[in-house]
């Protein structure tokens, strides 16, 4: 038995004047009912709006997952209102992907050090010979850095300043503030750029390694978003007759599928890292196969042509991706 509606004389959504017989607003379609919506109703409406076969998202599921490239080709042919907006699809999937990616990286940086790792001069008396050798190598590298700074006047800090910063930032007992360390080397007397770089160096030296890594990792989604049009530009080089906007849509769909597939891998890794390691190759091959068939269906080319174009364009994109991530890490450290 359905609940009785408590009708109003005006639509609560758009303010349209309603007749007592109206169950729904003729202007915006909202139900004429002033009852507070239940949590169950809210969830039901969500799935109805996004996953029903008559919704844009619902109609996009089959071609997106099962028919690589078909969704992009439909957009190219002008059938756009029928399907989910590619930018919106990318944003939703990337949000899910980077959420689970960050959870994995959070755990990895806690146990394995992450992207940025510090060296140490201290050794544990109970450590094995292998560990001692590793620490000795790291210590040697650190001494070389000290030596370079002490003998190179082009650096923004002198060797003496480096020693002061290093000792004060690592003194956990005194726990000197950044301002105290700056005052000890008279950082305010330096030129603006040198003062800024010195401040950032002190901040990095004093910061928790885990926090630095997670800050750098948090910038990866932004870097990937800027790589989308670059990948589309690479596709434009291989398929010049197509408009750039078509390649951009294809880039959005390919990245969306890759992120969705990797999201499953991240979830499995959170449950069991050993299982994730065993099936990691399968997920990579799945993404690669999807891209190959997407090229074939989107650009109406033969399978062989699709394979070599995927390999060559992927190689170019990989080089750009590596340099972008390295630049992103350096930029993140500067503005940390």
Closest by CA to 261, choosing from 226, 229, 285, is 285
Q: How many CB atoms lie within 10 A of CB 257?
A: 21
C-alpha 238/C-alpha 255 separation (Å) is: 18
Kindly indicate the confidence band of residue 308, based on its pLDDT and cuts at 50, 70 and 90: very high
Q: What is the pLDDT of residues 67-125, one digit of tens each?
A: 999 999 988 888 777 888 889 889 989 999 999 998 888 887 766 655 555 444 443 44
C-alpha 88/C-alpha 85 separation (Å) is: 5
What is the DSSP secondary-structure string of 267-295?
A: HHHHH-HHHHHHHHHHHHHHHHHHHHHHH
Asked whether the beta carbons of 32 and 8 are under 8 A apart, the reply is: yes
Kindly indicate the confidence band of residue 135, based on its pLDDT and cuts at 50, 70 and 90: very low
pLDDT at residue 21 in the model: 74
pLDDT at residue 4 in the model: 55
Dihedral of CA atoms 166, 172, 173, 175 in degrees, nearest 10, equals 80
Q: In the Cβ-directed half-sphere of 201, how many Cα atoms lie within 13 Å?
A: 21
Q: What is the pLDDT of residues 156-203, one digit of tens each?
A: 677 788 788 888 888 777 788 888 888 888 888 888 888 888 888 888
Q: What is the pLDDT of residues 19-72, one digit of tens each?
A: 777 778 887 877 777 655 555 655 555 555 554 445 677 788 888 899 999 999
Tokens of 185: 């080397």
27: three-class secondary structure by DSSP: coil
Q: Tell me which of 267 and 332 has the higher pLDDT.
A: 267
Q: What is the mean pLDDT of the chain?
A: 78
Predicted confidence (pLDDT) at residue 244 exceeds the cutoff of 60 = yes
Closest by CA to 76, choosing from 201, 242, 291, is 242
- Rounded to a whole number of angstroms, the distance between the first and last alpha carbons of the chain is 59
Q: What is the pLDDT of residues 245-284, one digit of tens each?
A: 999 999 999 999 999 999 999 999 999 989 999 999 999 9
Whole-structure pTM value: 0.67
Mean pLDDT calculated for residue range 150-154? 45
Mean pLDDT calculated for residue range 9-25? 80
């Amino acid at each position: 038995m359905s609940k009785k509606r408590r009708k109003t004389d005006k639509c609560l959504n758009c303010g349209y004047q309603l007749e007592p017989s109206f169950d729904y607003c003729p202007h915006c379609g909202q139900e004429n009912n002033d009852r507070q919506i239940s949590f169950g109703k809210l969830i039901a409406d969500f799935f109805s709006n996004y996953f029903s076969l008559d919704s844009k998202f619902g109609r996009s599921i089959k071609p997106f997952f099962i028919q690589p490239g078909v969704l992009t080709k439909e957009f190219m042919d002008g059938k756009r209102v029928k399907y989910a907006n590619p930018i919106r699809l990318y944003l939703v999937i990337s949000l899910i992907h980077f959420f689970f990616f960050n959870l994995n990286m959070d755990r990895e940086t806690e146990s394995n050090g992450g992207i940025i790792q510090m060296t140490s001069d201290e050794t544990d008396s109970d450590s094995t010979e292998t560990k001692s050798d590793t620490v000795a190598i790291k210590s040697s590298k650190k001494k070389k850095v000290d030596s370079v700074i002490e003998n190179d006047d082009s650096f923004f800090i002198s060797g003496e300043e480096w020693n002061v910063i290093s000792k004060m930032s690592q003194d956990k007992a005194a726990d000197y503030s950044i301002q105290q360390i700056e005052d000890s080397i008279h950082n305010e007397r330096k030129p603006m750029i040198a003062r800024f770089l010195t401040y950032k160096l002190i901040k990095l030296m004093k910061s928790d390694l885990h926090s630095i890594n997670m800050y750098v990792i948090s910038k990866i989604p932004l870097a990937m978003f800027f790589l989308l049009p670059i990948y589309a530009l690479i596709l434009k080089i291989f398929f010049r007759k197509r408009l750039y906007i078509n390649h951009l849509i294809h880039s959005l769909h390919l990245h969306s599928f890759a992120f969705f597939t990797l999201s499953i891998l991240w979830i499995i890794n959170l449950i069991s890292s050993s299982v994730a390691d065993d099936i990691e190759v399968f997920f990579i091959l799945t993404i690669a196969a999807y891209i190959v068939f997407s090229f074939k269906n989107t650009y109406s080319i033969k399978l062989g042509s699709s394979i070599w174009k995927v390999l060559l364009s992927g190689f170019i994109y990989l080089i750009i991706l590596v340099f972008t991530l390295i630049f992103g890490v350096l930029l993140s450290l500067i503005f940390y």
